[in-house]
Structure 1
C-alpha cells in the first residue's frame, strides 16, 4: 500500500521538477534522494506520532461503534486508494493520496450507515475547495515569481552582474520559506512568526551570504544564461529534497494512519481512538515509499516534469519555491490545500508565463479529470471491497 500510496505517485512529485529540469537523473539519483529523505527524515523520524481511527472528521464517529466495522472499513479504504493510485500512476496522472483515502473512507461509511454518516459540510467541502484552490493559487504564485525572477536577472542589460546580485536573493528567499516550512510542517510548530524569525530568516541569511560571496569570486560560466541555470541547478536539488522530507513527515504518515488504526482497534478495541503509531509501521511505510519511487515513480515524474511544459532549472526552482510558499501560508491559515495539486498548478503557471502555447493542454485536461474522479472512484472501489470483507468476515 505504501508502495502505491506514497512512492509511486505522491513521492514522485517531489523529484519531478528536478528530473524535468535535468538537475537530477532518474532513476538512481531520484530514488536515492527521495527514498532516503522520505524514509529516514520524513516517515520514520518526523512522522506523526498520533493518528485518529476515524480520519479527520470525514465520518461521524458516533455512528460507527463496532470495532470490526472500523477494521474492515480501514482496510477497504486503503486497498481502494492503492488500486486507484496504481491505475492513475499507470497513466502518469498525479493525483492526491489524501483525496484517495478520503474517498475510500466515504465509500465504506456510506455502505455501512448511509449518506448521513458522512460529514458533508466539513471535510468533504474542504476537499472540493482544494480541487479548485490548490492549482489556481499554485499557478498564480508561480506565474508572478517566474516573471519577477526573469525581469530581475534575464532581462537586465548585464545578466551576469544581475545574477550576482539577485540569484543570492532569490535562493535566500527560498530558504526563508524552507526553514519556516520545516518548523511548521516537520516540527509541527504553530506560530508562523516564530518559524520565520528563528528558522526561516537565519537559514535564508546564511545561504544568501554564502552564495553572494561565492559568486563574487567566480561566475560559473562565461555565458550568463548558462551560468544562471547552473546556479539554480544545484539549489533545485536541495529544494526538491526538502519537498520529499516534508512529504514523508506529513502525507505519508497520514496515508499509513488507517494501518495504525487497525492495529490499535485490533489490540485495544474502540479504546484506541487515539494511539501512538508504532515505529515498525512507519518503517514499513517508509520502505514501501522508497520501493515505489524506485520501481514505478518514473511515470508521474515524466508527466509533471516533462509533459506539461518544458522546464529549465530556474523554472523548476520557481515551481518548488512557489509550491512551498503556498503550502506554508495555507497550513498557517488552515486552508484546504493539496500539495500534489499545488505543484501541478505551479508547473502550469510557469508554462503560462511563457505563453499559452507552452502548455500541453491535453495533458492538463487529463490531469484535471483524474482529480475530479479520484474521490468517487475510490469510494466505489472501497464500497465493493467493504461488502466483500463483511461477507468473508
Structure 2
C-alpha cells in the first residue's frame, strides 16, 4: 500500500472518530440541558430566599418572608417562561428576530419595564377578588397569599410544560379566590369581578383576533394583491408604521409608565396621534429608500416590516414588565407588609428588593425556559411572516387600549394568542374564498376531497383546542390547587 493511500485512510478514520466525538458531545449536551435549566432556576430561588433573609431582618416572621420570597421567585421564573412568548413569538416566527436576539431584547426591556415603571400600588387582595375583612387575622391572610402564590406558579409551570400560553393574571386571581374560599367561604369572593374576568376569556381573544384579521385584510387588499406591490408599499407602509408608532406611544403612556406619571386615555391618545404623524412623515423617505431595487413580489415586502416588528416586540416587553411583574411579587409584597406591620387591609407598595426578584426572575425564566412557548406562539399555531406578525403586535396594543377605554378586564396573553388565531383563520377564509373564485372561472373543475381540505387548514387545531382548554381551566384549576395548599399550610402551621 502506498504512503498516500495509507494517509488518506488515516484521514477517513480520523473524520469518523471526530464525527463520533461530536455526536457524543451533542448527545451529552441534550442530556445535560434538562438538568442545567432547573439547576440555575433552583439557585435563583435560593438566592431570592437568602436575599430576603438579609434584607427583611430578624423578626418572628422572617421564616415566612423567606419562604414567600422563594415562592415569588418561582412565580417570576414561570411568568418569564410562559407570558413573554406572546411579545416575542410573532417577531421570531416571522424571522425578524433570532431566538437569541429575542431573548436578549426581552430580558432587557422586561427588566427595564419592571424596575422603571413597575410596582404600581397593588391591592392587598389581588385586584379586589376577596374582601380583606373576611380574612380575619393577619396569620390567615399570610397563609392565603402563600397558597395563592404557590398555586398560580405551579399552574403556569404545568401550562408551560404542555405548551399552552396562559394568563398569569388569571392564575393569580384563581389562586387568591381559592385561598379566600378555603379560609372564609364563598361569601368572601367578589363575584361581579369574577364574572367580568370570566367574560374576558371570550372578549380578549375575540377582540385581538378581529383587530389582527382586520389589519391583515387591509394589507392584503391594499398592498399584496395590487399589481404594483412596491408602489403600494411606498404609499401604505409609512402609514402602517405611523399607526403602529402612535398606538404603542399611547399604549406605553397608558400602561407602561403609570407609576411614573398618571395619564388619562384622551391625553394618551393625543400623545399617540402626535408621535404617529411624526413617524409617518419620517418613514416616507425611509421606505422609499428601502424599496429601491426590490422585485415586485410578496417576498420583497417582508424587508419593509422588519424594524417595526423588532421595535414593537421591545415595547410590548417593556409594558409587560411594567404591568405583569405585580403578578409575581404582588402577593409577596402583601406578605412582607403584613409580616412587618401586621396590617393587611391597606394598599401595598412593592419594596425595591421585591421588585428585583420579579424583574430578574422574569428574565431568568425567559432565558432558561422561554424558547418552547416562543416557538409555539411564533410558528406552531400558524405560519407567520413579517406582515402577519405586524398585525398580531399591533392588535395586542390596540385591543388593550380599547379594553381600557371600555373598562373591560382583559388578558394580554389571550389578546396576543387570539390575534395569532385571528390571522390564521382569516388566511384560511381568504384562501377558501380565492379558491372558490378560481373554481368559478374554470368550469367543471373537480372539488377538493375532505382529506385535502383538512390538509390545507392553516391553523393547527390541536394547538387551538389545547390552548382554549388551558384558558378555560386556569381560574378553577388554580383555585382548587390554592385551596388544597391553604389547608396544608394551615395544618402545618397550627
Range into which the TM-score falls when normalised by the shorter chain: over 0.9
2:128 pairs with 54, 57, 60, which one?
57
Cα distance in 1, alignment partners of residues 264 and 409 from structure 2: 19
Match of 1:146 in 2: 216
SS at match of 1:56: coil
Q: Aligned residue for 1:382?
A: 482
Match of 1:156 in 2: 226
Picking from 204, 208, 219, the partner of 2:291 is: 219
Contact map agreement 2:133 2:345 (CA 8 A) in 1: no
Note if 1:32 corresponds to 2:132. Answer: no
Q: How many Å separate the matches in 2 of 1:178 and 1:133?
A: 21
> How many angstroms apart in 2 are the aligned matches of 1:216 and 1:287?
41
Q: Does 1:283 align with 2:356?
A: yes
Show the counterpart of 1:86.
157
CA distance in 1: counterparts of 2:292 and 2:313, whole angstroms: 22
The answer to whether residue 420 in structure 2 is matched with residue 350 in structure 1 is no
> What is the CA–CA distance in structure 2 between the aligned matches of 1:10 and 1:309, rounded to whole Å?
18
Alignment equivalent of 2:374, drawn from 277, 301, 319: 301
Residues 156, 3 of structure 1: alpha-carbon distance in 2 compared, 3 angstrom cutoff: same
Identify unmatched segments of 5+ residues in structure 1. Answer: none
Worse overlay, 60-69 or 160-169: 60-69
The offset of 1:116, in angstroms, is 1.3
Cα drift, residue 233 of structure 1: 1.4
Q: Is the 8 A contact 1:37 1:244 kept in 2?
A: yes
**Contact kept in structure 2, 1:5 and 1:81, CA below 8 Å:** no
Provide the alpha-carbon RMSD of the alignment.
1.4
User: Are residue 361 (structure 1) and residue 461 (structure 2) matched?
Assistant: yes
Per the normalisation by structure 1, the TM-score is 0.96
Q: Confirm or deny: 8 A CA contact 1:54 1:61 kept in the other structure.
A: yes
Between the aligned partners of 2:158 and 2:77, the Cα distance in structure 1 is: 10
Structure 2 vs 1, CA of residues 221 and 227 (structure 1 numbering), >3 Å: closer, same or farther?
Answer: farther
| Native 8 Å contact 1:220 1:231 kept in 2 | no
1:47 maps to which residue?
118
Deviations 1:301-326 (A, max 9, x none): 11111111100001000000011101
Cα deviation for residue 227 of structure 1 reads 2.8
Residues 75-111 of structure 1 show CA distances to partners (whole Å, capped at 9, x for unaligned) of 1111101111111001110000011011111111111
Distance 1:2 1:34 in 2: 18
Other-structure match for 2:31: none
For residues 49-128 of structure 1, the aligned pairs below 5 Å read 49-120=120-191, 122-128=192-198
**What is the alpha-carbon distance in structure 1 between the residues aligned to residue 362 and residue 231 of structure 2?**
43
- Shifted more, 283-292 versus 148-157: the winner is 148-157
Which residue pairs with 2:277 in the alignment?
205
> What's the CA shift for 1:208?
1.3
Q: Contact (CA 8 Å) 1:264, 1:272: kept in 2 or not?
A: no
**Larger RCO: 1 or 2 (CA < 8 Å, sep 6+):** 1
2:347 corresponds in structure 1 to 274
Over 3 Å off, 4+ runs: 2-5
- Name the counterpart of 1:23: 96
CA separation in 2, counterparts of 1:220 and 1:352? 33
In 1: Cα distance, 2:129 partner to 2:107 partner: 30
Using structure 2 for the length normalisation, give the TM-score. 0.76
List alignment gaps of at least 5 residues for structure 2: 1-73, 430-456
Q: Distance in 2 between matches of 1:278 and 1:32?
A: 26
Q: Which residue of 1 aligns with 2:253?
A: 183
Contact 1:65 1:270 in 2 (8 A): no
Going from structure 1 to structure 2, the CA distance change for 1:218 and 1:35 (only over 3 Å counts) comes to: closer
Give the whole-Å Cα distance in 2 for the aligned partners of 1:387 and 1:296: 31
Change (3 A) 1:201 1:53: same
CA contact (8 A) 1:261 1:273 kept: no
Number of residue pairs the alignment of both structures matches: 389
Larger-gyration structure (1/2): 2
The offset of 1:271, in angstroms, is 5.6
